[in-house]
Amino acid sequence: MSLPYARAFKRAALPMLALSCLAWNNAGAQGAYPNHPISLVVPFAAGGPTDVVARSLGASMAKTLGQSVVIENRTGAGGTLASQHVARAAPDGYTFLIHHNGMATAPALYRKLSFNPLTDFAYVGQVADVPMTLLGRKDLPADGMAGFIKYAKANGNKVNLANAGLGAVSQLCGMLLQESLGVQFTTVPYAGTAPAMTALLGGQVDVLCDQTTQTIPQIKAERVKLYGVTTLDRIKALPDAPTLQEGGLKNFEVKVWHGVYAPKGTPPEAVTKFNAALRAALKDPAFTQKMAELGAEIVPESKQTPEGLQTWLQSEIDKWGGVIRKAGVYAD
């Protein structure tokens, strides 16, 4: 950050911080925080995987907060519109953001990003991880991961790899898969997971990497070939499925992780209370059962903290930045 820019940013931030403190003091005068509903912004459409996690989480957190958590869907630009909205929102403890891996990939995908994920937010904590699966069309002439690796290297760009669009986690998984295999497939982007899965089921594409919330029903119905899961360890939802690491891709790991953020300058007391409600929700049987049904796993307590989220976000930005720049794939 240049010195003039830093000074301008500081001048702009001070009034915001003063307003935040004033709003917080006024709220304190009216009663303990929170004294009215809290907005939890979701970067994706209602009914999608992140939205489902957010609504289940909000319902459980409301039990601790004593106020409802209202889900606000702000879609567009790979989740960056929602992030930008929250970054610029009043830091009064009544606006939060839940986002997945897209928070870490945005700095590389969007070269003209209007916010900085590492400096424009207060961190609350992580929520749940959703594993991903590598699938092939049912009649793909490659059995097992060893067979798939051989087939991929022999056919290269003749293999059609579907994804749910630029910036989708399925696209990121596909990019890492190609890098790990040392091959270049022909990528076929779709406007969402549903049409990408439909194309795979119909045989229009050969391969798809996507999260268990979308793929388990097709796997259990044996309508696709399952080559493995993208976590380092096997998952409870598919205990017999090998990991891609077991199949020969050393240290291959992609999972859909979710973090909760607030605008920078949000009073620490509000962040602490929201984090306490988050931690309580992650132990709520209603929430944990819903996550288990989705194939998601609650993150360990070390990741449920602001520090845990900040550390993880930095590591993910470092990881995906190199992959994206090497692939030369950008959204702007």
Portions of the chain given CATH number 3.40.190.150: 10-130+256-327
Predicted confidence (pLDDT) at residue 19 exceeds the cutoff of 70: no
Calpha distance 131→110 (Å, rounded)? 25
Provide the 10 A C-beta neighbour count for residue 203. Answer: 11
Portions of the chain given CATH number 3.40.190.10: 131-229
CATH fold of the domain at 10-130+256-327: D-Maltodextrin-Binding Protein; domain 2 (3.40.190)
196 near 163, Cβ under 8 Å?
A: yes
Q: State pLDDT tens for residues 172-200.
A: 999 999 999 999 999 999 988 889 999 99
In total, the chain counts a number of residues equal to 332
Predicted confidence (pLDDT) at residue 269 exceeds the cutoff of 90: yes
Torsion over CA: 222, 224, 228, 230 (sign): negative
* pTM recorded for the entire structure: 0.80
pLDDT recorded at residue 77: 87
Q: What is the DSSP string of 170-231?
A: HHHHHHHHHHHHT---EEEE-SSHHHHHHHHHTTS-SEEEEEHHHHHHHHHTT-EEEEEESS
DSSP secondary structure letter of residue 275: H
Q: State pLDDT tens for residues 198-246.
A: 999 999 999 999 989 889 999 999 999 999 999 999 998 899 999 999 9
Q: State pLDDT tens for residues 32-56.
A: 999 999 999 999 888 878 888 999 9
Calpha distance 277→130 (Å, rounded)? 21
CATH fold of the domain at 131-229: D-Maltodextrin-Binding Protein; domain 2 (3.40.190)
Measured torsion, CA atoms of residues 89, 91, 93, 99, in degrees rounded to the nearest 10: 50
Provide the 10 A C-beta neighbour count for residue 301. Answer: 12
